[in-house]
Structure 1
Amino acid sequence: MVTALPVLTLGLWQGRRFEAQARRDTDRELTTASANVAHDISMLLRFRLEELELLATRASHLERWTETEQVRGLFDRRYGATGFSIMYLGDPWGTALFASPARSPEGQSYAGVNYADRAFYQRMIAARRSVVGDVTIGRRTGQLQVAAAAPVFHREGALRGFVTGAIHMEPLVELAVANARGHLRRVVVVDSRHNVVIDSAAQLAPMSQWIPLDAPGDTRLVRAPVTREVLRMAGAVVEVPGGSWRAFVSVPEAQVAHSTTVLRRATLWATMLVLMVMVGAVYAISSFASRDLRKLATIATLIGEGDYQRGARTAGRFAPREVVEVWESMQRAMQQLEDRRSERSEMIRELQDTNTHLRTFSTGIRDAHDGVVVFDRRHRVEYANPAWLRMHQLTEGEVLGRRLEELNLSDGRVPHELRAALRDQTPWEGAMVFRRKDGTSAEAEVSVSPVYGDAGDVEHHVALVRDVTARRQAEQSMQQTERLASLGMLAAGVAHEINNPMTYVLGNLEELRTLAGGGLLTAAPEAELELVECLDDCLHGARRVVEIVGDLRQLSQLRRESAAETANGREVIESCLRVAHSQLRHCADVVRQFPQEELWLRISTQHLGQVVLNLIMNAAQAMDPGQAAHNRLTVTLRVVNPARAELMVTDTGSGMAPELTHKIFDPFFTTKRAGLGTGLGLSICRSLVTAAQGEILVESTPGAGSTFRVLLPLAPPPSSDEGSFVATPSGLSVLVVDDDPSVLAAVQRMLAPCVSQAAASVDQALELVTRSHFDLVLTDVMMPEKTGVDLIHELTRVAPHLARRTCLMSGGVMGARMAAEIAMLQVPFLHKPMTRDELHRALRALHHDHPPATSSQVPP
């Protein structure tokens, strides 16, 4: 007994020693495990916040937060790929504006509800960064989840709202369960309000009932409220933005004491055995009881230090299956974190590239020489670059948010095609005239394109505007220069054409003067016949001079062309042949091949005449003079299809080499001798034909001649309204204004039987208007001091009914400004010299279109 007592005492002392060591190992293991759990949960929560911050960054670039396809697309792409069960966009007070998914599984809508506590958002506003909050999301639906939120700021730094999400708890719970498998551990995580966030045993009880929260880092023995079992537990702080959580890892105290209990029992029974056998048995039992704990402590230490490879090897050789699974779960979580981090880095790079492209595009539009304006479907201006603002002499504040119609940018001549394109939401290109702020006008080439939204509807239009005023003026100057150059080459021949008829006109007039002075006009019947013959020759010669001057006027006038103008092909060609007759009769026989019916072409008479005259003059210069019997110039006009006509000018001149036909239309390229051309004629011809939606081609053979083919669109013949004229009134009172007395006398004689009075100036005419009654006014345009246009403006003030019943006449070529003013007046116009029939036809039309306000004495 005495011998056994020391042995028993030694056994009890050794048992308590091993029991204390086992408890210390367990405490160290629990502390390490709680720290590892806290670290892993912190990393997962930090990754969730990084995803939420990225979504908040994208949401800050959205202009509107209503439920649009753009907002839904942004959230739906991220939802499901992230660790959130609910994601919603909220205002600064936390109320949901848009949620993904839109409804809870019970069918309740998430939009318009504030699921988080105000204190939760106040902490985030104070910190100005993303936070993870208490268990608040889903409080109204009965499903508590952890809230995470990230603030969204305006560009100027003001708070715009929040992006809030409910974190999927499955990965966190799986991590807790993986750490709590087996009979050794239990993992519990609570938030700052003592709400249970994670419990591996799924016992959601208020932690304040059974966990001492004052010292989370210590190891404590607590009693579970459900099972009433005693637990050995260690806690660690989980770093959560905006608050702190605590993770606790526990081991049942009964299991910790199990090995020591066995040891105590063995020691008591060994007192009856031999000392050496008892000592050996006690040592063996103690070693067996602490082996697994030491192995687990070693593995936990290696994993806690980050040495996963050694931990894996140790776990594979010694540790139970649960430890290996925990390690593999952590490896998968770390790999997921790395994959998400790589994905986030790639998205950041894409955003940076997109921002770079947007900055480049924005700078290019801002610094562009052409004007760019963007307007919505109601024509409200949303953007205008500096070039567009300079064109219209406006500022950005004057145009943004206003409709284009309110800015009064057009001169009233908006193309019908542009209106139709805006109405039908289709692209359009064309030219138009716009008005600047100072009232001046300018020409521009405009291209309007629709901009489609994500839904496929047109949301905006973008217009590119190029000011071509200077270019148009330069082109018109070049055309006029080439036209005058052609007329200059014809000057000598035209003088010959005029001098010939004037020779016999003057001769016959002198003969008539001699006969009249000698009293021979009535002496004999043969004298009367000679008088009639002389007068006929004079009229023929005068008409020929008038015809030549009219052809020259038509070719030399300078005015703006309209896209709706048409030309009579045969009349224009005949007019050009008459003008060039003096050049052609010495070098070629002219052959005309025209259809029987008249062909109307969709091109202005002036432009068609310039093209035809240039081709005829080129052909005349390509043939040797004095060989008219051997050379031939053929002018052909024919219909090639229902929409087009073809004009061909063929000569039998020297021709061109094939390599020159490709350059013949280049500006300043010419094959003529020095002094015979500027090199601009054919280039201008191609520009005029192309502008009329036509084309010009050339075929040439050296030594055999050339053929120029001009294809132009056909136009319907203009309507004739001659049948609407009434009979010539014989009792009308007409006021004739001209500074040339001879013209006044001649016009008054031609006006018979109408009653007429003459005025030599505008002031004299206004004086007669105040004293007498007149039905019509016929006035010259170019007069000293005041013009006929000035007279119409004065009549508008003193006698408005006469201003509408005034006819202008002129014998000169007017400038573009005067021609534009006359066109705006919309009054009849006569070219001097005019015949009696032309004068009376114009007066009849004027009297018919504008009947007098008071009854006039007009015979039936």
Structure 2
Amino acid sequence: MSKRYTLERNRLTEALREREDRYNSLIDSIDEGYCVIEMRIEPGRPLDYRFLEVNRAFEQQSTLVDAQGKWMRELRPDHEEHWFEIYRDVALTGQPIRFEHCGRALNGRCFSLYAFRIGAPDQRQVAVLFSDITERKRVEQALAESEQRLRLFIEYAPAALAMFDRDMRCLSASRRWAKDYGQGNRDLVGLPAYEVHEVPERWKEVYRRGLAGEVLGAEEDRYERPDGSVRWMRWEIHPWYDFSGDIGGIIIFIEDITERKQIEEELQTLNEELGRRVEERTRELQETQSQYIHAEKLSAVGRLSASIAHEFNNPLQGVMAILKGLKKNLRLEEEDKELLDVALSETDRMKNLIRNLQEFNRPSSGKKMPMDIHASINTLLLLCKIDFKRRRIVTVLNYAGQLPRIMAIPDQIKQVFLNLLNNAADAIQTDGVITVRTWQEDNRVAVAIQDTGTGIAPEQIGLIFQPFYTTKPEIHGTGLGLSVCHGIIQGHRGEIRVESEPGKGSTFTVLLPVDGGSMEADSIEGTSPERSGS
């Protein structure tokens, strides 16, 4: 009996030892720190605990060396008091506790702990399983900060930006997104996109393609809102992926570029207007150049005509002398005398034409002298006689009975009247009447030249005195005549008026001061006045 008992005891002892070895081997093999502590809870003495067991990872995790069998206050006199209180409560109540803790006493490290009572309650023993989760906490904190930055970036993005999961539930959205879709300050997180606003079918198709992995976008997209207003959008859709590499949903970016589009359209309109103005100005400059060239041609013709008139004058004088000699020395029949008188009259008319042409083309002296308006007009009508006859234009003279001479620069005033007579003839073309009237208004002499021509349109009246503006074809006019006339009359302190009605004709009235418009005229003496021929 004694031998059998001994054998059984040895067997049980061996089995217990094997079990303890397996237990110790298991405890030592785990990565978590493990220890069994015994609480000392005595009135009048501070709480403390002693390490009964520790595994191999304990020292690495806790940095406590040779802790087994020693009291904690011995190892760490400044150990935080709450640790003693936590383990005391577990030992007394038997309620296990699981928590995470980070602290300066742990050198800034973080631990996950699980404490539970073992053995009989009166033994007051607590097992503690703990692991260093500092790195995990750092990653979690970095992830939380990253998520916070992402949330803030999305929330305060100046464009409409939103993130959705595969079911198109909103994960995050910018304030601009909520504003653009009329949601105000409403929290959109968790709401399906199709409940937040009406989604057109074409956009649903775009969402489906994005959830299938496509990256889509448009630089300019016209979008008509339910209220009928039109907006222009720039948008992009990108799928986002979870940790497993699967598509988790889509990110939608929308920028309202309506204002930019409007500015671009305005710039386009301005560019087109600028191009039109440049083209118009270029055409005007080309026309001005042509008018300058035409004016130079006219000037050359004027100089040439004066030279020709000079060359014609000498032989004409000879012809006139011969005709006068024949009339004086020959005895002619009555019919021949009449023919000779006609020839002398015509040569005398030619002489007057040549003299008028020379005077008209002679450079202006720039000096004012007494001038007979009627005589000057008669001289100009003589120059125009052939042209008027060819056009079948009749001239009617309605001169004032008594018209004082004026102080003026004769060749300039003649230039004004000749230009007005030629303009009247051009307005008539053929078969018409030019009426010249004169009268006196206070201290001014008035000359009105009226035609029965085509007239001038009301919108052109204010433009006809501008340089290079003309209503005539380019080959007939330079647009300088009336501008020069206006300048000459202003230089004489006079006035030029125009009345016109399309289809009925025009009347140009020139008013000139008798005294020349300045004291200079009164001081001129000894000048040769033109002969009156009214």
- Superposed pair shares fold, TM > 0.5: no
State TM-score, norm by structure 1: 0.23
Higher RCO, Cα 8 Å, sep 6+: 2
State TM-score, norm by structure 2: 0.36
- In our comparison, the structure showing a higher alpha carbon Rg is 2
